[in-house]
Amino acid sequence: MKKLIVALVVIVAAVFWWQRTPLTDSNPYVFAVVDEEGKPTDMKYTVPDDKDILTQENSEQILYGKRLLNETKRLLPDNVGAAMNCNSCHLYQGKLEYGDPYINTYNAFPQFNSRAERVVTIEERINGCFQRSMNGTPLPEQSDEMKAIIAYYKWLAQDVPHGWQVVHQNTGPIDTSLQPNMDKGEEIYGAMCASCHGDNGEGMWDASGNIMFPPLWGDDSFNIGAGMARLYKAAAFVKYNMPMGYTMNRPQGQGHVLTDQEAVDVSYYFTQKPRPDFPAKVYDWPSGKKPKDARY
């Protein structure tokens, strides 16, 4: 009897010991959703974990899309001219607010494009990136690769209906009335950018042949037709996302370091550097309503 009581006490104590720390669930990012007219809805959007991909029927296709976005240069060398991956700009696999996310991409197209002054399809928009930011050639619209990339976007949009939008900002505000200062920009570049992007803007590759920090100018950088070549677009990106691995901001230690003025100065420094031309630029803004920071 005594032994039994001792055993019971030990078991109960062990269970308490084991149970004393409750396990913690993940704490995902949740956003509101608005309908076609921008009115609030009851729907909430939760940024999905990649594990959720495995529950999808076309999980292989989605994972292929995810890989193409992460490792574009290595996997699609014929289509990517620059040393650049999609996710060089679309941070955290397109899940990061202010980091050019893909969360609303699938549901937002076809969409009016002010540069083309017409409605463009999602395939055209993706190929815009391939031809401008990645200074390459378009993917065939019916290719497995194009379909895989769109499948990833569709998965990322979860069950948000087409036309509705997650209240999740692609980019943050920047004061576009600020005038850039080249000398200050150069100074900031040296102190805050060159460690990764190189003193000559040449970027950095990892040991297994993937581009890690993209070149910011020169032959391997984005061409003159890219959004990133525009001063204030670049400045907004820099302000909210750069440097990376520098702050305690989740999930990538990104941004919120420079003032608007500093972001404008440093963006002026690298956007004005030599970079590949984009011959099809002649078709942009056909009626001439160019933004003031266009390079052409």
Dihedral of CA 211/217/218/219: which sign? positive
Q: How far is the CB of 28 from another protein (least distance, A)?
A: 7
- Window 93-122: residues binding another protein (CB under 8 A): 93
Q: How far is the CB of 227 from another protein (least distance, A)?
A: 21
Nearer to another protein by C-beta: 177 or 208? 208
C-alpha distances in Å from residue 93, one per residue of 37, 47, 101, 109, 287: 28, 11, 8, 19, 35
- Choose, by CB under 8 A, the member of 208, 288, 289, 292 that binds another protein: 208
Q: Which among 154-162, 173-181, 208-216, 265-273 is the span making contact with another protein, rule CB under 8 A?
A: 208-216
- Choose, by CB under 8 A, the member of 204, 260, 261, 285 that binds another protein: 204
Q: Is 248 an interacting residue with respect to another protein (CB under 8 A)?
A: yes
Q: Is 2 an interacting residue with respect to another protein (CB under 8 A)?
A: no
- Choose, by CB under 8 A, the member of 45, 64, 237, 270 that binds another protein: 64
Q: How far is the CB of 204 from another protein (least distance, A)?
A: 6
Nearer to another protein by C-beta: 87 or 133? 87
- Choose, by CB under 8 A, the member of 130, 213, 222, 232 that binds another protein: 213
Q: Is 18 an interacting residue with respect to another protein (CB under 8 A)?
A: yes
Q: Is 247 an interacting residue with respect to another protein (CB under 8 A)?
A: yes
**DSSP-assigned states of every residue in the chain:** -HHHHHHHHHHHHHHHHHHSS--------EEEEE-TTS-EEEEEEEPPPGGGGGGSTTHHHHHHHHHHHHSHHHH-TTT--SS--HHHHSHHHHTSTTS---TTHHHH-SEEETTTTEEE-HHHHHHHHHHTTT-S-PPPTTSHHHHHHHHHHHHHTTTPPTT-EES--SS----TTPPP-HHHHHHHHHHHTHHHH-TTS--EE-TTS-EEE--SSSTTS--TTSGGGSHHHHHHHHHHH-SSSSSS-TTTT----S-HHHHHHHHHHHHTS-----GGGGGSSTTS---TT---
Q: Is 28 an interacting residue with respect to another protein (CB under 8 A)?
A: yes
Q: Which among 1-9, 47-55, 109-117, 168-176 is the span making contact with another protein, rule CB under 8 A?
A: 47-55
Q: How many CB atoms lie within 10 A of CB 255?
A: 23
Q: Which among 3-11, 136-144, 161-169, 202-210 is the span making contact with another protein, rule CB under 8 A?
A: 202-210
Q: How far is the CB of 278 from another protein (least distance, A)?
A: 28
Q: How far is the CB of 120 from another protein (least distance, A)?
A: 29
Which chain residues interact with another protein by CB under 8 A?
A: 18, 21-29, 49-51, 53-54, 63-64, 67, 70-71, 74, 87, 91-93, 190-192, 194-196, 204, 206-208, 210, 212-213, 243-253
